[in-house]
Chain A
């Protein structure tokens, strides 16, 4: 049996293996080592949740603590990427994009096109996403659709330790800027991960469950809720096909359409807010390109159109659940019967 490690360890291992292989890879971010200039330990934190712990010792001079200065160090990572290096910069929480959005939106994402195809910007921005840590409105967002909306960026959102390692290595080797979204509730998730180096290609959805009755499309942490719902629904005689997009840009449209052509039914599950989201985007895609195959309405299970609340009583209502997914599936299935 293959070795099992956590999502967090898988990310750490991907970084270590790529830094060992390629001397142009370096890490920059707030407290990615922790303790710069302080009298105590270096590598005191290894990232705010310890994801980069230990890399400072292995790669002295290539794990750079940055000041709390997102425009400065994210911009510097973008600049370094244009000069033949492969920076992996860490934006601690994706919510902090508010500080440095220009460097991603107007600089990194635009260089290649704006400069007539002559620039490459092999930047990876690792960032924590998602709700569930009672971290409230400014440390819990799921901004996948924001990044996906911007041409020039690639957007990755792994759901498992295996995917986290393979997608991160792919991201580091990729010559385009990549926003690598790590769901904070998945860090401790264990899974089989080869010790060897491997890449998981972008734009290739993972069929986690084959089924003929209905297609569940999702990504990130919601994959696990979709699988839980699918297991419950199987006991009720409804066979769900579960697709994990892995990357929202590029997005594996072919697999979504292939599955819906087979099942005729679609529920999209997205932890993000509902307006202009991956959920609406995928719904529109299917409505446009697989309309004839549909046997019922398309349902979306998303967060409400609110900021992420703090109180557990409210946050638990905010985040989609397996029960909500099951209810949405039943709604779609009923549509068929009514028709």
Chain B
């Protein structure tokens, strides 16, 4: 039995409304498997590959290189089994006739992040998927839930996945009380309580890894497993110059050299990414919160928290980019965990090598 699939422009992150086609990675007539990268798309914030959510033969490339298309627009037709050109034409025609590119407001009719007041502090979280033991995604220093834009939907295909903005970050409240790791971990716990989640999988990136480890230390019964990506808390060294630099940077020229340290491909640091970071840093309270947290995390390039003993408490997956310029991948040495080092990758490995990270995470979570 044959099936005609339409591959459409994905929505990466909360604000994406359109994307520009860069290059096709698969040609018409080629067989593609689910998970294969089919084409490269760039947005004003980031560029990445569109993965096939199904297998089949790429029968029709609809989108042209350099063309800018709205989220949801038709990119390609992939056929499992047999279909005539006429049948494909009919599908394309019907799709194009029905397709209405949404503006920003209409995009919001899909799943959207929520905000809740917990202990006098506003917390934003984004709840996707359902079923299974829920997974909570915890971003790193200066990040927000958009750091998971290439992971969150893929992971949510198999379970409920909640990404949050830590205090001082994203659209959560900016004022910190103590400005230490415990405060961050407790804010995650407060969200778990609010959502009535007894036991969860935690995944944390960078500082978010330390937040997850520390949560497991504070409340071991709540943690089913840990997935730590380029995590803090597992060794001494951290790039102190980056931490101080990102805190101090007040304009794009100061920010750019810091942000490029995060990626293996510096070209990913777009004008819009810098602008978004500046917009975050201009919010009242952010500067103070970041200074507090930077001090709480490290001093002169040495991390203050050794959370390695927590790793053995529960099943733990540790992922790292081999070329991480912020926290060295050597911190995986000797950890009682499932470890994978992704060659050639930098600190933002979950963004840059999203499909590999997603595959590792999904496999790990299925097993625990």
The answer to whether B107 and A1 touch across the interface, beta carbons within 8 angstroms, is yes
Contact A196/B271 with A1-B104, A162-B279 known, Cβ cut-off 8 Å: no
Q: Which range holds the interface residue count of chain A? A: 10 to 19
Q: Is B283's CB within 8 Å of the partner chain A?
A: yes
For B, the interface residue count at a CB cutoff of 8 angstroms equals 20
Q: Which one of A162, A210, A258 lies within 8 Å of B271 (CB-CB)?
A: A210
Q: Is A250's CB within 8 Å of the partner chain B?
A: no
Q: Which residue of B lies closest to A252 (CB)?
A: B251
Q: Is B250's CB within 8 Å of the partner chain A?
A: yes
Q: How many angstroms from the CA of A210 to the CA of B42 in the assembled complex? A: 15
Residues 168-204 of B contacting A (Cβ, < 8 Å) = 171, 174
Known A2-B15, A197-B284, A201-B282; further 12 A-B contacts with Cβ < 8 A:
A1-B104, A1-B107, A2-B171, A162-B279, A194-B279, A198-B283, A199-B284, A200-B282, A201-B250, A201-B251, A204-B251, A258-B253
The proximity string for A residues 173-217 relative to B, scoring 1 for CB distances below 8 Å and 0 otherwise, is 000000000000000000010101111110010110110000000
Q: Is B363's CB within 8 Å of the partner chain A?
A: no
The answer to whether A196 and B14 touch across the interface, beta carbons within 8 angstroms, is no
Q: Is B1's CB within 8 Å of the partner chain A?
A: no
Q: How far is the CB of A254 from chain B (nearest CB, A)?
A: 8
Q: How many angstroms from the CA of A271 to the CA of B23 in the assembled complex? A: 40
The proximity string for A residues 61-100 relative to B, scoring 1 for CB distances below 8 Å and 0 otherwise, is 0000000000000000000000000000000000000000
Q: Is B265's CB within 8 Å of the partner chain A?
A: no
Q: Which residue of B lies closest to A210 (CB)?
A: B271
Q: How many angstroms from the CA of A162 to the CA of B278 in the assembled complex? A: 12
Residues of the A chain whose Cβ atoms lie less than 8 Å from the Cβ of B284 = 196-199
Residues of the A chain whose Cβ atoms lie less than 8 Å from the Cβ of B171 = 2, 194
- A to B CB contacts below 8 Å, 11 in the list: A1-B112, A194-B279, A194-B283, A198-B282, A198-B284, A199-B282, A200-B282, A201-B250, A204-B251, A209-B271, A258-B253
Q: Which residue of A lies closest to B282 (CB)?
A: A198
Q: Is B86's CB within 8 Å of the partner chain A?
A: no
Q: Is A4's CB within 8 Å of the partner chain B?
A: yes
The answer to whether A4 and B252 touch across the interface, beta carbons within 8 angstroms, is no
Residues of the B chain whose Cβ atoms lie less than 8 Å from the Cβ of A4 = 104-105
Q: How many angstroms from the CA of A201 to the CA of B283 in the assembled complex? A: 12
Residues of the A chain whose Cβ atoms lie less than 8 Å from the Cβ of B251 = 201, 204
Contact A196/B15 with A1-B104, A204-B251, A210-B271 known, Cβ cut-off 8 Å: no
Q: Which residue of B lies closest to A201 (CB)?
A: B250
Q: Which residue of A lies closest to B107 (CB)?
A: A1
Q: Which one of B15, B174, B252 lies within 8 Å of A1 (CB-CB)?
A: B15
Q: Is B82's CB within 8 Å of the partner chain A?
A: no
Q: Is A166's CB within 8 Å of the partner chain B?
A: yes
Tell me which of B107, B174, B279 has the highest count of chain A C-beta atoms within 10 A of its own C-beta.
B279
Q: How far is the CB of A179 from chain B (nearest CB, A)?
A: 22
Q: Which residue of B lies closest to A166 (CB)?
A: B282
The answer to whether A207 and B252 touch across the interface, beta carbons within 8 angstroms, is yes
Q: Is B108's CB within 8 Å of the partner chain A?
A: yes
Residues 203-238 of A contacting B (Cβ, < 8 Å) = 204, 206-207, 209-210
Q: Which residue of B lies closest to A197 (CB)?
A: B284
Q: Which one of B112, B275, B279 lies within 8 Å of A198 (CB-CB)?
A: B279
Q: How far is the CB of B11 from chain A (nearest CB, A)?
A: 10
Residues of the A chain whose Cβ atoms lie less than 8 Å from the Cβ of B275 = 206-207
Q: For the complex of A and B, list the 5 residue pairs with the smallest distance between their C-beta atoms, beginning with the closest.
A: A197-B284, A198-B282, A198-B283, A1-B14, A210-B271
Q: How many angstroms from the CA of A199 to the CA of B285 in the assembled complex? A: 11
The proximity string for A residues 1-15 relative to B, scoring 1 for CB distances below 8 Å and 0 otherwise, is 110100000000000
The answer to whether A196 and B283 touch across the interface, beta carbons within 8 angstroms, is yes
Residues of the A chain whose Cβ atoms lie less than 8 Å from the Cβ of B252 = 207
The answer to whether A197 and B15 touch across the interface, beta carbons within 8 angstroms, is no
Contact A196/B108 with A1-B15, A207-B271 known, Cβ cut-off 8 Å: no
Q: Which residue of B lies closest to A17 (CB)?
A: B284
Residues of the B chain whose Cβ atoms lie less than 8 Å from the Cβ of A166 = 282
Q: Which one of A197, A204, A258 lies within 8 Å of B283 (CB-CB)?
A: A197
The proximity string for B residues 279-313 relative to A, scoring 1 for CB distances below 8 Å and 0 otherwise, is 10011110000000000000000000000000000
